[in-house]
Amino acid sequence: MTAETLRLSAARPRNLSLGRGLLIGLALLWLTLIVLAPLSVILVEALRKGLGAAVASLSQPDVWAAARLTLLTTAIATPLNAVFGLAAAWCVTRFDFIGKTLLMALIDLPLSVSPVISGLVWVLLFGASGWFAPWLNAAGLQIMFTPVAIVLATILVTLPYVARELIPLMQQQGSDEELAALTLGARPSAIFLFITLPNVRWALLYGVLLANARAMGEFGAVSVVSGHIRGLTNTLPLHVEILYNEYDFVGAFATAALLAVLALLTLVLKSFLEHRHADDLAARGRR
């Protein structure tokens, strides 16, 4: 080894670590400005007039009604989309048929549609001059501006999440185990319950977690179809907007803080799943 290379290798680490430190600093500064600062400002604004005021604004009946509607919507939309995700993943990954690519594109479609459009389409169908309006009027039914419309909009927005986690995993796992069970005489229900479901359980949970977070937080689509009737068709995210527009900033940010806590909880569960069950989530890192 010449003196030249010795000098080089001695000098390099220090040089690199300066550049490295700069890059890390810049990246963390950006993360702080764009993500961490907004998160902390929610807490600061919510507590601006003290903890008491924040808690008082959260115990309003309107907040509770909004929270109930948000939970109800999520409790309907997420399980339906989970069943859909399982069915879609089963037919797409276990069979070959013409039109499969189109079907998969349709499953992903809601992801690239503006949330406002996901609400708009229901107004076009069920609104005052919607396609089904004459029929609905004759039957004395109202869908627009009721919780039903909110559920429909939420289902459309969160439809792809479970399917998108299951499809790559089931593709990767293949159908060998299911075929073996079939050869040994297992009934279809047994194959599903004792082989498929256990194999995908963590990915299913992961997808449900993402769909759930999106369903609880959905704003644009729900805003279009809700009619913003307090106590009746107001979800938590919509309530944040109402309070904010009424200049009740403590109330708006306290409600926002409640939703932010739910989001953080989602992140904790999500990174737990990613670290503990990485092998069972083929879709990790793919978005």
Q: Decide: is 238 part of the binding site for another protein (CB under 8 A).
A: yes
Q: Decide: is 18 part of the binding site for another protein (CB under 8 A).
A: no
| Structure token digits, residue 167 | 């499809």
- In angstroms and rounded to an integer, the radius of gyration of the C-alpha atoms of the chain is 25
Q: Decide: is 98 part of the binding site for another protein (CB under 8 A).
A: yes
Distance CA 133, CA 142 (A): 9
Q: Decide: is 59 part of the binding site for another protein (CB under 8 A).
A: no
106-135 residues near another protein, rule: CB under 8 A: 106-107, 109-118, 120-125, 127-131
**Shortest distance, CB of residue 10 to another protein, whole angstroms?**
16
The number of angstroms, rounded, from the C-alpha of 125 to the middle of its chain's C-alpha atoms is: 25
Distance CA 108, CA 130 (A): 26
**Shortest distance, CB of residue 94 to another protein, whole angstroms?**
5
**Candidate list 9, 13, 18, 38; residue touching another protein; CB under 8 A:** 38
195-234 residues near another protein, rule: CB under 8 A: 210, 213-214, 216-220, 223-224
Q: Is 276 helix (H, G, I), strand (E, B) or coil?
A: helix
CB-nearer residue toward another protein: 65 or 88 = 88
**Candidate list 18, 27, 229, 278; residue touching another protein; CB under 8 A:** 27
Helix (H) or strand (E) holding 246: none
Distance CA 63, CA 235 (A): 9
Residue with tokens 């737990």: 272
239-278 residues near another protein, rule: CB under 8 A: 240-241, 244, 252-253, 256, 259-260, 263-264, 266-268, 270-271
7 contacts: CB under 8 Å, gap ≥ 6: none
**Shortest distance, CB of residue 59 to another protein, whole angstroms?**
19
Q: Specify whether the CB–CB gap between 112 and 160 falls below 8 A.
A: no
143-182 residues near another protein, rule: CB under 8 A: 152, 155-156, 159, 175, 178-179, 182
Stretch that binds another protein, among 56-64, 81-89, 134-142, 197-205 (CB under 8 A): 81-89
Neighbours of 171 (CB within 10 A): 14
Distance CA 60, CA 57 (A): 6
Q: Total number of residues binding another protein (CB under 8 A)?
A: 99
**Shortest distance, CB of residue 233 to another protein, whole angstroms?**
15
